[in-house]
Structure 1
Amino acid sequence: MICLKAFSSPLHLPTLRRIAPPSSALRTRIAAMSSSSSAVAAPVEHIVLLKARPEAVASGAAAAMALATQVPGLAYIHAGPVLRLRSPAAEALGPTHLLHSRYATKQDLASYAAHPAHVAAVQGHVLPNALDTTAVDWVNAAELPSPVSPGSAVRLTLAKVKEGVEVAQLVEKVAAATKAAGEAKGAKVSFGENFSPARAKGYQFGMVAVFDSVEELDAVEGDGKVEEAKAAVRPLLDEVVVLDFVVEAAGGAPSPASL
């Protein structure tokens, strides 16, 4: 997890320091990390969107935004590039990379944020390489878990509600809409109200829809039930960031990461 509570506006950072890309062992640990408590129904989700400096991307240093993966309380973590931006708000925000992590409780999230290994990763690798960050946290309000495995394709949605609309209304509407749509083309979802507004640039709601592959994700476009679900919640929304990413597949058989 990367918590940058003080930075809700573009960062003015020192010149990029070249960093060697992460080792294959580190990439394997990140990709294969799995939850030891898959029965937990309501994980805490943490999303950080990062806009990397152009020179960081060009040098490969963006891939070396080191992550403290061996810290108690961390159930799952993925960091990597954005596959594609799917909405005008996403294009305006311009994230190039993201981090997605999961915790069993809010206390686990808070403990990880304060851990020296996490702080060192942020100060040593993230701040020198990031122009801007956006972070959202929520407790999963979906009925079922949304397991993530190496090779999964994920659609992330962040939303602001219209004036006069309570975020709880949106959560209820999304719960009803996703239930009505069923597991559209194999999607598993997690969604909820953001509880870290200081870092979220006004985004009040977050959702991830997890698919087994990019092909399955692409297959939902134009699906009748999915379009009905979108139509049901659209009147409540003001601004929406939608983007896709893929969880890197490491060598060897992957272990599911699920809460």
Structure 2
Amino acid sequence: MASEQKVIEHIVLFKVNEGASQEEIDAWLSALNALDSLECVEFLRASPAVATNSSNKFTHALYGRYRSREALAQYSVHPRHVAVVKGNRVVEDLLALDWEAPEDRSWFESCCALRIELLKPQPALEQAERTEVSEVLSRYKNLFPRVLSASFGENISPGRAKGFGWGFLCAFGAFEDLQEFNNNEEHVRLHEGKVIPKVQETLIMECRLEIP
């Protein structure tokens, strides 16, 4: 039996310099979003946060999807990417996290909102507890009809993750669907009962996406 195709999910949270002008920020976001045209990129969107949790100092997020670790590596050193990253004065701080996930392109064209959650596991978690979190979050697409896609995984790039070891992403067809999901009693029960007790810290960011 053929093995399931895996892709790489790539999340970067940015804190924008308070002294940056809106024109500089808009130009920086446009340059980031233009990287979606690179051959090594399956999907890429960068946008400001609409909402964050209280511990989150970051203001913007980039989500990218790559066919393999090699494709992500190609993206990282691509001259256009390097020029955007090193050629601006907009970003004050960032956090980046990557994980492997099953291939699923079905939601790309209809996604209008993302809920990003980065989690820092408790250091002494048993493997069974880690597995429980993975099983709970991996079922979100089946549990909640308004979730177009749900992706959870353990970070494979610790260098810029600031200790965050898990990434979780939910995609929605409308921002109103995301808001309804946040108020869903089953989601709140699972998150508060099964996930939060297993982590030291979470960073949550909600973003609207423009369909090009």
Q: What is the TM-score with the length of structure 1 in the denominator? A: 0.70
1:113-152 paired onto structure 2 within 5 Å: 113-125=76-88, 128-140=89-101, 147-149=107-109, 152=112
Q: What is the CA distance between 1:151 and its match in structure 2?
A: 5.5
Paired residue secondary structure (1:195):
coil
Q: What is the CA distance between 1:45 and its match in structure 2?
A: 0.8
1:243 aligns with 2:209: no
1:170 aligns with 2:133: no
Q: Distance in 1 between matches of 2:100 and 2:184?
A: 28
- Number of the residue aligned with 1:158: 118
Q: Decide whether the 8 Å contact of 2:137 with 2:152 is kept in 1.
A: no
1:187-226 paired onto structure 2 within 5 Å: 187=147, 188-226=149-187
Q: What is the CA distance between 1:210 and its match in structure 2?
A: 0.7
Code of the residue aligned with 2:161 in structure 1: it is A
1:54-78 deviation digits (Å, cap 9, x = unpaired): 232x332112122333322111110
Q: What is the CA distance between 1:168 and its match in structure 2?
A: 8.1
Paired residue secondary structure (1:234):
helix
Provide closer, same or farther for how the CA distance between residues 72 and 229 of structure 1 changes in structure 2, counting only shifts above 3 A: same
1:222-259 deviation digits (Å, cap 9, x = unpaired): 32321232122222111011110011134xxxxxxxxx
Q: Distance in 2 between matches of 1:59 and 1:180?
A: 36
Paired residue secondary structure (2:179):
helix
Provide closer, same or farther for how the CA distance between residues 145 and 170 of structure 1 changes in structure 2, counting only shifts above 3 A: farther
Provide closer, same or farther for how the CA distance between residues 108 and 191 of structure 1 changes in structure 2, counting only shifts above 3 A: same
1:20-69 deviation digits (Å, cap 9, x = unpaired): xxxxxxxxxxxxxxxxxxxx85320111111111232x332112122333
Q: Decide whether the 8 Å contact of 2:150 with 2:169 is kept in 1.
A: yes
Q: What is the CA distance between 1:119 and its match in structure 2?
A: 1.2
Q: Which has the higher strand share?
A: 2
Q: What is the CA distance between 1:209 and its match in structure 2?
A: 0.6
Paired residue secondary structure (1:140):
strand
Q: What is the CA distance between 1:169 and its match in structure 2?
A: 4.3
1:49 aligns with 2:13: yes
1:80 aligns with 2:47: yes
Provide closer, same or farther for how the CA distance between residues 221 and 72 of structure 1 changes in structure 2, counting only shifts above 3 A: closer
Paired residue secondary structure (1:49):
strand
- Number of the residue aligned with 1:70: 37
Q: What is the TM-score with the length of structure 2 in the denominator? A: 0.85
Code of the residue aligned with 2:62 in structure 1: it is L
Q: What is the CA distance between 1:121 and its match in structure 2?
A: 1.8
Q: Distance in 1 between matches of 2:127 and 2:206?
A: 23
Q: Distance in 2 between matches of 1:227 and 1:221?
A: 7
- Number of the residue aligned with 1:256: none
Q: What is the CA distance between 1:191 and its match in structure 2?
A: 1.1
- Number of the residue aligned with 1:89: 55
Deviates more, 1:112-121 or 1:180-189: 180-189
Provide closer, same or farther for how the CA distance between residues 166 and 197 of structure 1 changes in structure 2, counting only shifts above 3 A: farther
| RMSD value, Cα | 2.4
Q: Decide whether the 8 Å contact of 2:114 with 2:208 is kept in 1.
A: yes
Paired positions, count = 203
Paired residue secondary structure (1:63):
helix
Unpaired segments ≥5 residues, structure 1: 1-39, 251-259
Q: What is the CA distance between 1:116 and its match in structure 2?
A: 1.5
- Number of the residue aligned with 2:24: 61
Q: Decide whether the 8 Å contact of 1:41 with 1:145 is kept in 2.
A: no
